[in-house]
Amino acid sequence: MKIGRLVRATLSGTSQKKTTKIEHEEPTNELKDQVTERLENIRKQTSEIDDIMFKKIATDEGVVTVIYSNSLVEKMTIQTMVFIPLTNYIHQIHQVSDSIEDTDIQEITKKVITGQTILFFHKTFQLLSIDTYSAPTRSITNTEVESTVIGPQDAFTESLETNISLVKRRIKSPMLKNETFTIGTETDTKISVVYMDGIVNKDNLEVLKERIEKLDHPAYTDVTILKQLIEDNPLSPFPQYYLTVRPDTVSGYLHDGRIVVFMENSSAVMICPVTFLEMFMSVEDYYNRWTTASLLRMLRFFGFFLTITITPLYVSALTFHPEILPYELLLNLQESRAKVPFPPLFEVLFIELIIEVLREAGSRMPAKVGQTIGIVGGIVIGTAAVEAGLISNILVVLVATSALLSFLPPIFLVSNTSRFVRYIFIISAGLFGLFGQMIAFTWLMVHLLRIDSLGKPYMSPVIPRKATDLLNGIIRFPTKYLTKKSGISKSPKK
Amino acid sequence: MSPKNLKVLGVYHVIFLVQNTMVGTGLLSAPQRLSVLGYSQVLMPIYFGIIATITLWPMVWICSQYKGDNLFRINELLLGKWMGKGINVLIVLHFTLLIAAIISNYMNLIQSTALPEQTTTVTILLVLLLLTYIVNGGIKTIARFCTLAFCLAIPMVYFLRWGIEKGDLSHIFPLFNFTSQEFFKAMQQGYLSILGYELIMFYFPYIIDQKKAFKHAMIGIWITISLVFITTVVSVMYYSEWQLEHVEFSVLHLFKAGEFSFVERIDIMGITFWVSLILTTAAAYLWSARKGLDSIRSKKNKYHVYFITAAIFGVIMLPVNREFQQKLFDASIYIEYIVILWPIFLCLIHLVRKKQVKSK
């Protein structure tokens, strides 16, 4: 009985102190009926939930019915925390359990289906609950969506407790607070709002809590759903909160006074407020030398604007403004699309859609097949389409470049946004040439200027709220200068 | 809205709001409008700057006397309800016409350079839609947009490089080779290049640091003045006197002087990019006009902005000949000179009626 010894060892400290037996009065028949009825009611409530177990166990204090959920409580846990103490050291059960005063059947059932074990003492008619939630979880593994070459490799899992522990082991400070809320009228999903007290902007925190409390969405399966519901501008194609699976990113942002929202069963967490520029920042930038980091940041940032303008430029130059191209380039372009019967707009839309199809097909298929499809599709369709005279080969180069550029942002949501925005640019270029493109660009700028992230301007660094923000902008200055908190999370002056 | 929330414009907002509302198509055609003076036009922008600074003072002064109120409200306070409202109606009508003039001029330019094979109706609609989108964001969005547009447009100064290289500096002299009549004509035709700073009378209540507003607005004005000055100098260096008089958007052609191996005709890129500068100016005017309509009808209504936009579209699409339309637009620009001088008149009335108004 190795387990028995283990439990005895852990419980021996308390067992020596208290050995007084609790005396109970003999229950009346009326009470008996009530409790039997209650038990019956619990059975009824859980009648079609087959993983809920009712076990009768004979103990020193009479028969005890143990009610627990088979799928949320591990066998080992129920054994060590309930069965062994019940049969061997029953007085200790009273010390580790909570007494249930509430007689509401709904509440009791809820406890069972959230992984607690209910002990029902037939003789004394006491109801106790023990937290035995021990659903199997995935172990901490490397991140696959935000991998970096330098820096820690661990990533969040789907367990809320594990995720919070991953952050708490990085920030050992009593200032780190985590407030828990339950949302979702049907799913009862637990979320945790984590922030550094004393650094966080209280106004931001109030706004966020207010929005969470107002939620009445029935079901949450991932933090991205919550994110869309509490964003400032839900209709915008741009994500207004940062999404990450990396604990080091989270602790970096926590130090800067941001608020992080964890959700159970979600491996991604949400960081707010953030700025547009931060969508192009990776935590690896801080691990790299400042020169490399600045170069990569510039590449990502300008890459976003390039990916939405390259192919539209092709459309507008060939449709409306051949005169902006130098003679040699124009000749080259015209030669390459001499066999193409479509106007440039359709040519570009055609190949862009093919790229989308390849991308989507590649991401849905099993990894091995996906790769093959990607290569075969890319080469076969690309080469064949050019040879068949459906598209020009220069366009293939441009489209491939812009597809690659669209994968530069560290957050996948921004990459998706660039795909969507590119179509707006292509169509406006097809309709009004460079002028249409500029109109679309102006729209993009104004739209970005109008968006807020948790009430703070999304385009913060353009109109810096603080001069030191510029040190950690498109260019990342050497680490010794990056000591100030950013303006977006600055607490208001008292 | 509480007065605290009303104040949204910081230092940079004011500077760039003033600066960018002044830059429109006017800048592109400034050398031609000043061509009466020939090569002696070089110093004109500086005079404009001085005049702008002088006329800015009464604007800021009268607004600082009525801190929470814009010009529309001040008109009503000083001139009485009905006369004030009457003047306000005129201002709103005038602004509608002015925005139509700004957009129409620009669209004609676009049609003649970038989109010669298309009619402008749909593009004008698109521009107006975008305009309402900007204005609906409020004055702060307009101010932010001005800042961003400035940052994006300022690298264009680099394109003047070739003009300087190929030009002749000796064109600048003599500096004062003109008669007073020519001077006033140039003044009358050229001053419109720097119109726009008078809008401070409408967004003054939204400025956080009202005491320093004059200084900040002045910085904005002189940024624009130096830009106009630079372009004028380079134009004078690069063009002959005949060209100055006859080349319509001479600044655009300066861009063309550049030679790149990978792109020709950067001027088309420049002129299409100019839409953001046009939109900043038009948005500030439209926002002011909307405030005017709010004040005339004594209630806020989000449809006011659409109403004015529809009116602008109507004016641009007016089925009259081009000459008449151009006359109308020119008239609207000259009326703007009255708006600039208007606060001086208001200041005088304020001094006379100060006690009466304050006791209200």
A326 touches chain B (CB under 8 A): yes
Q: What is the 3-state secondary structure (H, E, C) of A119-149?
A: EEECCCCCEEEEECCCCCCCCCCECCCCCCC
Q: Are residues A274 and A315 in the same domain?
A: no
Residue A15, token pair as written in the block: 């067992």
Average pLDDT of span B111-120: 83
Round to whole Å and give the CA distance between A281 and A294.
Answer: 10
Whether A367 maps to a domain, the answer reads yes
Residue pair B238/B247 in contact (Cβ under 8 Å)? The answer is no
* Residue B4, pLDDT above cutoff 60: no
Q: Which of A449, A458, A460 to mutate to test the interface with B (most CBs of B within 10 A)?
A: A449
Q: B263: which chain A residues are within 8 Å (Cβ-Cβ)?
A: 324-326
A434/B145 touch (CB, cutoff 8 Å), yes or no? no
Residues of A in contact with B261 (CB under 8 A): 326
pLDDT at B282: 93
3-state secondary structure of A55: strand
Q: What is the pLDDT of residues A301-337, one digit of tens each?
A: 999 999 999 999 999 999 998 888 888 888 888 888 8
What is the pLDDT at residue A482?
A: 84
Pairing of strands A189-196, A127-131: unpaired
A438 touches chain B (CB under 8 A): yes
d(CA B37, CA B263) in angstroms, rounded, equals: 35
Q: Do A433 and B114 touch (CB under 8 A)?
A: yes
Q: Which residues of B touch A446 (CB under 8 A)?
A: 130, 133-134, 137, 141, 145
Determine the pLDDT at residue B360. 57
On whether residue A148 sits in a domain, the answer given is no
- Contact criterion met (CB < 8 Å) for A446 and B115: no
- Of A21 and B267, the structure prediction assigns the larger pLDDT to B267
**How many other CB atoms are there within 10 angstroms of residue A71's CB atom?**
14
pLDDT band (50, 70, 90) for residue A7: very low
Q: Using the 8-state DSSP alphabet, how is residue A229 labeled? A: H
Whether the per-residue pLDDT at A16 is higher than 50: the answer is no
Q: How far is B288 from chain A (nearest CA, A)?
A: 18
What is the pLDDT confidence band of residue A102, given thresholds at 50, 70 and 90? low
Whether residues B264 and A446 touch (CB distance < 8 A) is answered with: no
Q: E strand or H helix at A179, and its extent? A: strand A176-183
Range of the domain at A243: 160-286
pLDDT tens per residue across span A232-275:
989 999 999 999 999 999 999 999 889 999 999 999 999 988 98
Question: Residue A140: inside a domain, yes or no?
Answer: no
**pLDDT reading at A464 higher than 60:** no
Going by their DSSP bridges, the two strands A242-244 and A189-196 should be labelled as: unpaired
H or E stretch covering B113: helix B81-113
CA distance A438 to chain B (A): 6
Query: Which CATH architecture is the domain B3-359 placed in?
Result: Up-down Bundle (1.20)
d(CA B134, CA B117): 28
Q: Is A13 on the interface with B (CB under 8 A)?
A: no
Confidence of residue B262 (pLDDT cuts 50, 70, 90): confident
pLDDT at B37: 80
B60: tokens are 């800021």
Chain A residues touching B134 at Cβ < 8 A: 446
List the single range of A28-37, A91-100, B59-68, B107-116 with lowest mean pLDDT. Answer: A28-37
Q: Which of A172-186, B129-143, B220-234, B246-260 has the lowest mean pLDDT?
A: B246-260
Query: Which is more confidently placed, A405 or B1?
Result: A405
- pLDDT for B1: 37
Count how many domains chain A has.
3
CB contact under 8 A, B263 and A324: yes
Region A37-50: what's the mean pLDDT?
A: 82
Return the pLDDT at B281: 92
pLDDT on residue A211: 93
From chain B, the residues in CB contact with A433 under 8 A are 114-115, 272
d(CA A259, CA A361): 36
A328 lies in the same domain as A431: yes
Domain contains A293: no
* Cα nearest neighbour of B267 on chain A: A324
DSSP state of A89: -
Whether pLDDT at B173 is above 90: no
Helix, strand, coil percent content, chain B, rounded in steps of 5: 80, 0, 15
Using CB atoms, which residue from B126, B141, B268 is nearest to A439?
B126
With a cut of 50, say whether residue A494 has pLDDT above it: no
Work out the percent of chain A whose per-residue pLDDT is above 70.
91
Does the structure show a pLDDT above 90 at A425? yes
Question: Is residue A104 located within the same domain as residue A194?
Answer: no
**What is the Cα–Cα distance from A175 to A177, expressed in whole angstroms?**
6
pLDDT of A6 above 70: no
Q: Is residue A487 within 8 angstroms of chain B, CB to CB?
A: no
Chain B residues in contact with chain A using a Cβ-Cβ cutoff of 8 Å = 10, 12-13, 110, 114-115, 117-118, 122-123, 126-127, 130, 133-134, 137, 141, 144-145, 147-149, 151-152, 260-266, 268-269, 272-273, 275-276, 279
Q: State the number of CA atoms in the 13 A half-sphere of B46 facing the CB.
A: 7
The pTM score is 0.88
Dist. CA A76–CA A134, nearest whole Å: 9
Query: Environment class of residue B146 by beta-carbon count within 10 Å: exposed (0-12), middle (13-18) or buried (19+)?
Result: buried
Question: For A435, which residue in chain B has the nearest alpha carbon?
Answer: B272
- State residue A18's pLDDT score: 38
Instruction: Return the DSSP state at B204.
Output: G
Measured CA to CA in angstroms, residue A5 lies from A12, A77, A78, A95, A268 at distances of 10, 15, 16, 19, 40
Q: Looking at beta carbons, which residues of chain A come within 8 Å of B279?
A: 442
Q: Read off the pLDDT of each residue in A157-177 and give the average, rounded to a whole number.
A: 92
pLDDT winner (highest mean) among A281-290, B106-115, B169-178: A281-290
CA angle (A490, A491, B3) in 5-degree steps: 105
What is the total residue count of chain A?
494
CA atoms of A209 and A225, how far apart (whole Å): 16
> Residue A86's closest CA among A113, A53, A114, A63?
A63
Per-residue pLDDT of B286-316, as tens digits, reads: 999 999 999 888 888 889 999 999 999 998 8
**How does B297-315 read in b/e, with b if 16+ C-beta sit within 10 Å?**
eeeeeeebbeebbebbbeb
A457 and chain B: CB distance < 8 Å anywhere? Answer: yes
Q: Are residues A123 and A185 in the same domain?
A: no
Cβ of A449 within 8 Å of Cβ of B127? The answer is no
Higher pLDDT, B108 or A260: A260
Q: What region does A188 belong to: left with phi over 0, alpha with psi -120 to 50, or beta? A: left
How many cross-chain Cβ pairs, A to B, lie less than 8 Å apart? 90
Q: What average pLDDT does chain B have?
A: 86
Q: Does A106 score more than 90 pLDDT?
A: no
Q: How far is B89 from chain A (nearest CA, A)?
A: 30
Q: Do A209 and A93 share a domain, yes or no?
A: no
Question: Which residues from A are below 8 Å from B125, CB to CB?
Answer: none
Give A321's contacts in chain B (Cβ within 8 Å): 114, 265, 268
29-88 in A: which are within 8 Å (CB) of B?
none
Q: Is A320 on the interface with B (CB under 8 A)?
A: yes
- In terms of Cβ atoms closer than 10 Å to its own Cβ (0-12, 13-18, 19+), residue A236 is middle
Q: State residue A461's pLDDT score.
A: 64
Mean pLDDT calculated for residue range A109-119? 88
Does residue A181 sit at the B interface (CB-CB below 8 Å)? no
pLDDT at A56: 87
Residue B10: the pLDDT is 85
Asked whether the predicted pLDDT for residue A376 surpasses 90, the reply is no
User: Is residue A205 a contact partner of residue A420, using CB atoms and an 8 Å limit?
Assistant: no
Q: What single DSSP character describes residue A18? A: -
pLDDT at A489: 73
- A137 closest CA partner among A186, A190, A74: A74
**pLDDT category, B359, cuts 50, 70, 90?**
low
Q: Which residue of A has its CA nearest to B148?
A: A462
B144:A459 CB<8 A: yes
B12 contacts in A (CB within 8 Å)?
463
Contacts A441 to B, Cβ<8 Å = 276
Residue A478 lies in a domain: no
Q: Is the pLDDT of residue B3 over 50?
A: no
| Residue in the structure block whose two tokens are 């429109």 | B24
- Per-residue H/E/C for B36-93: HHHHHHHHHHHHHHHHHHHHHHHHHHHHHHCCCCCHHHHHHHHHCHHHHHHHHHHHHH
Residue B42: pLDDT band with limits 50, 70, 90: confident
Nearest to A488 by CA among A449, A457, A462: A457
Are B126 and A432 a contacting pair at CB < 8 A?
yes
Structure tokens at A219: 């079901």
Tokens of A161: 């407790």
CA distance linking residue B45 with residue B42, whole number of Å: 7
Min Cα–Cα distance to chain A from B106, Å:
12
Q: Look at the alpha carbons of B47, B52, B58, B60 in this order and tell me if their dihedral is positive or negative.
A: negative
Query: Rounded to a whole number, what is the distance in Å from the CA of A413 to chain B's nearest CA?
Result: 25
pLDDT at A364: 79
Cα(B272)–Cα(A436) distance, rounded to whole angstroms? 9
Q: Which of A438, A445, A463 sits opposite B272 (nearest CB)?
A: A438
Show residues of chain B in contact with A442, CB under 8 Å. Answer: 130, 275-276, 279
| Mutation for B interface: A323, A328, A394, A463, most B CBs within 10 A | A463
Helix axes A412-450, A290-307, angle to 10 degrees: 80
Q: Which of A57-66, A421-430, B22-31 has the lowest mean pLDDT?
A: B22-31
> What was the pLDDT predicted at A15?
39
- In angstroms, the Cα distances linking B324 to B200, B282, B315, B328 are 31, 22, 12, 6
Window from A227-241, A267-281, A455-469, B336-350 with minimum mean pLDDT:
A455-469
| Statement: residue B152 has pLDDT above 60 | yes
Nearest CA in chain B to A432: B115
Asked if A443 reaches chain B (Cβ–Cβ under 8 Å), the answer is: yes
Give the distance from residue B130's alpha carbon to the nearest chain A alpha carbon, in angstroms: 7
Segment among A390-404, B107-121, B163-177 with least mean pLDDT: B163-177
Nearest alpha carbon to residue B151 among B273, B283, B56, B266: B273
pLDDT at A22 over 70: no
Reported ipTM: 0.92
- Contact list in B for residue A434 (CB cut-off 8 A) is 114, 268-269, 272
What the block records as the tokens of A391 is 């598209």
Confidence of residue B171 (pLDDT cuts 50, 70, 90): confident
A45-63 as b/e: b if 16+ CB within 10 A: bbeeeeebeeeeeebebee
